[in-house]
Amino acid sequence: MKKSRKLRNWDNKTWLSSKSYISQFNKFLKTKINLNKNSKILDIGCGRANIISALQQKYKFRNKPIGIDIVSNKGVKKNIIFKRVEALKYLDKQEKYDLILIKQTIHFFSKKNLNRLLNLAKKRLNTKGKILIFSLKTKNNKIPCFKKMRKNLEKSLKRDEVLFKIIKKNLKRISYTNFNFKVKISKQKYVRMIRERYISCLLNMSNKEIKFGISEIKSKYKNQIKFTDTLKCISYRK
């Protein structure tokens, strides 16, 4: 049996941790919600908290944004409050927020627990507060893959479609938009990301499968890899 791994490198030295990505993402957030010094923010599945750290630098919130994750990564930003805790357990607390951010995280929840998460998140919103959910585009996804990786990714994206239906049924009053980021990355750097299993569809692959996949990537792509990384944004307002 393959050992299950935790996702540790998705926002570590990837385009997701670049200044340009974080800047563009937070500009996109600005079109979705009005933030000010009094805004209270919770980031579920925050990783190293790059997004909310940049928001804190810009807005100087009176209450530092809170980031939660089940993995305590090296390099978590110091200008936010980080808690290593499961989302359902944390949301049982009575604190309320103006923004609950759930970025590239829903696929780690079972159907039952996703419903529980949404129900709790709604209760934790202030008046006019928002839940913003970001997840990979499920149709015609452009992420560079080798064959086994693509198969795993498509399987995961099909499951995401089911989760989107759960979200729609639970939240009801929602709107959809896309966040697009044009990626230009060296093949060498992308190979390192694959080796470090930067995306969940790589987590349970054997070292042999990863090695074979890297050989496929090396022969399939030029020295510079270009594509558009698209996230579906689901917005709910209380």
Tens of pLDDT along 124-156? 999 999 999 999 999 999 999 999 999 999 999
Tens of pLDDT along 68-106? 999 888 888 999 999 999 999 999 988 999 999 999 999
Average pLDDT, the chain: 93
Kindly state the average pLDDT of the residues 200-209: 94
Query: Domain tally for the chain?
Result: 1
Query: Is residue 146 in some structural domain?
Result: yes
Residue 14: predicted pLDDT: 83
Helix (H) or strand (E) holding 115: helix 111-123
Residue 73: predicted pLDDT: 81
CATH number where 49 lies: 3.40.50.150
Query: Is residue 9 in some structural domain?
Result: no
Q: Which DSSP letter does residue 4 get?
A: P
Q: Range of 116's domain?
A: 15-184+230-237
Residue 94: predicted pLDDT: 83
SS3 78: coil
| Half-sphere exposure (Cβ direction) of 212: Cα atoms closer than 13 Å | 9
Query: Is residue 210 in some structural domain?
Result: no
Tens of pLDDT along 13-31? 789 889 999 999 999 999 9
The DSSP code sequence of 151-218 is HHHHHHHHHHHHHHHHHHHHH-SEEEEEEEEEEEEEHHHHHHHHHTT-SGGGTT--HHHHHHHHHHHH
